Amino acid sequence: MPSGPGTSTRVAIVGASSLRGKELKQVLEDRNFPAGDIILLDDTVMAGTLTEAGGEPTFIRPLEEDSFEGARFAFFTGTAIDTARNWETARRAGATVIDMSGALVAASKAAAWIPSLDALLPPAGERAKAYSAPVTPVIEACTVAAATAKFSPQRIAMTLFPPVSERDQPGIEELESQTANLLSFRPIEQTVFDEQVAFNLLSAYGASSKQTLGAMRQAISRETAAYLTGRALIPAIQLVQAPVFYGYAFTAYAEFATAPGAEQIEAAFANLGVKIAAAGDPSPTNVSAAGESQIQLSRIEADTAVATGVWIWGVADNLRLAAVNAVQIAEKLIAH
C-alpha cells in the first residue's frame, strides 16, 4: 500500500477475539499494512488468551486507560457496547478511530466511508477522527446503487441473506448444533435465534432472541440511506436469514425507464472492483466467495416479463469484505 519511506504504524484492535477482529488482523497481515505493532484488546474475559500477530506469539490484553497510547489507528471490531465505552479514550490518545461495530454511525459520531466507491460516491472532504466502516450488506447495497446510478434506475429492490456468522461465534455454534441434532433426531438448541435456523429460512427470529431480524434490516436500510441520500437511488431492502455459516448473498432487481444493456451494467460494476463471472462460468456462491476480498456477481439477467428490468445475483465473504473496507480506510488516510 502507499506509504512514506520508513512509515510504521501502531494499530489497536478492540474486540480482537471476535470473528471480525480475527479477520481484520489477517487482512492487515495479508495486505502488508505497515503496522510496526498490533495491539490486541478485548474485555477481561478474553484477556490473556494466547494468539499471534505478524507471525509472532502475543496475548490479548484487557482494555485499560492507557491501551491506546501511541496508536495511530484504533479499529473497533467487537460489540457496540465496547465501542461506546472506549472510542473516546482512543481518540483522546491521538488514534484515528475506525468503527466496524456500527455504534458510532448509529449515534452520528463517525463518518461512514466505502473507499471502493470513491470514484462515484466520494467521501466528505473534511478529515475526521472517527470513521465508520460499514458492514457487508451496506457495502453491497451501496455498490448496487452506485453501479446502476448512471443509468437512472426508477427502482431497486434487494433481498439479502445474512449468514449466522453475523451473530459471531455463538451463531456458528448454534447452527452446527442444530444441524447435528436434527440429523440425529434430538432436540435443538435455540439460544441465539430462538428459532430453527438449520435447514430453514427465516423472515423473523423468535421472541426471545436478543436481536431481531427487523432491527438488523432497519439498521442496514438506515446506513445505506445515509450513505446514498442525494447521490444515488436508495434500494428497498429485505432480509431473510439463511442456514449458512459464511457469505452474504443477495438478489437485486433494478428497473429503468430505458433498459441499458447487460454488458453496460456489468462494466459499471467492474469499474467499482466487483468481480463478474465470465461467460459460461457458474454463478458465485457462498462457498466460491469464501476468502475473496471482492463482491462476486453472476451475469446480469433481463427480466422475462418487464422489458426494462434486470436481476442481479451476488455474494461476498461477509467477514473479509468488511475487514478489507476498514483497512482501505486506514490505507487512504496514510496515503493522503
Q: What is the pLDDT of residues 141-177, one digit of tens each?
A: 999 999 999 999 999 999 999 999 999 999 999 999 9
Give me the count of residues in the chain: 336
What residue ranges do the domains of the chain occupy?
A: 9-109, 138-319
DSSP code at position 56 = E
Per-residue model confidence as pLDDT tens digits over 306-321: 999 999 999 999 999 9
Please state at what angle helix 168-183 crosses helix 19-30, rounded to 10 degrees.
110
* 175-to-160, 189, 227, 247, 291 alpha-carbon distances in Å: 19, 9, 33, 14, 21
Residue 90: its pLDDT value, please?
96
pLDDT band of 4, cuts 50, 70, 90: very low
User: 97 exposed, middle or buried (CB, 10 Å; 0-12, 13-18, 19+)?
Assistant: buried
pLDDT band of 46, cuts 50, 70, 90: low
User: Region 255-277: what's the mean pLDDT?
Assistant: 96
Is the per-residue pLDDT at 269 higher than 80?
Answer: yes
What is the CATH T-level fold of the domain 9-109, as seen in this structure?
Answer: Rossmann fold (3.40.50)
Say if domain 138-319 classifies as CATH 3.10.20.30. Answer: no
- What are phi and psi for residue 202, nearest 5 degrees? -125, 130
pLDDT band of 1, cuts 50, 70, 90: very low
d(CA 11, CA 169): 24
Task: Find, among 106, 324, 144, 136, the residue nearest to 232 by Cα.
Answer: 144
- What average pLDDT does the structure give for the chain? 92
3-state percent helix, strand, coil for the chain, nearest multiple of 5: 35, 20, 45
Is the per-residue pLDDT at 44 higher than 90?
Answer: no
d(CA 112, CA 124): 9
Q: Identify whether the C-beta of residue 319 lies closer than 8 Å to the C-beta of residue 165.
A: yes
* 294-to-38, 62, 328 alpha-carbon distances in Å: 25, 33, 13
Across the chain, the runs of DSSP E, i.e. the strands, are: 9-14, 35-42, 50-53, 56-59, 61-62, 73-76, 96-99, 111-112, 130-132, 153-161, 236-239, 248-256, 275-276, 296-297, 301-302, 309-316
* 195-to-120, 213, 265 alpha-carbon distances in Å: 41, 12, 39
Q: Identify whether the C-beta of residue 141 lies closer than 8 Å to the C-beta of residue 237.
A: yes
